[in-house]
Structure 1
């Protein structure tokens, strides 16, 4: 169960869409979350990895080093 508070303008737009299409507001809220959840998780992961690199907890290598390591040089 999830309850969210939306700005009045967004709530009105969501209600208008639901009314116009015969779907529920919940349907569209769920669709929006599903559409963007992967993207938000990717952003969080990238930010964590960047923090690890900046703090020295993780290191990077160049593409050339990676290709050499796995024997896939051009």
Structure 2
């Protein structure tokens, strides 16, 4: 269970959307959180990998090298 306080303007927008569409505010809050959570997880994973690359702990290859390794080079 999660209870959150929203700014009044956001609460009003959410309420209006729910009324216009016949869905619940909970439905839209859940959808927004799930969608944004995917984006946040991707962002933090990318940040960790970038930090490892900058620290020299992870190697990179160019697109040409990757294509050659996968047999996709012309």
TM-score interval for Structure 1 and Structure 2 normalised by the shorter chain: 0.7 to 0.9
Equivalent pairs, count: 74
Q: Which residue of 1 aligns with 2:60?
A: 60
Q: Which residues of structure 2 form unaligned runs of 5+? A: none
TM-score, length of structure 2 as denominator length:
0.79
SS at structure 2 position matched to 1:26: helix
Cα-to-partner distance string for 1:15-50 (whole Å, 9 max, x where unaligned): 122223332110110111233332222212111111
When residues 57 and 20 of structure 1 are mapped into structure 2, their CA distance, relative to the original with a 3 A threshold, is: same
- Distance in 1, matches of 2:4 and 2:58, equals 37
Give the aligned CA root-mean-square deviation in angstroms: 1.6
Matches within 5 A, 1:1-74: 1-74=1-74
TM-score, length of structure 1 as denominator length:
0.79
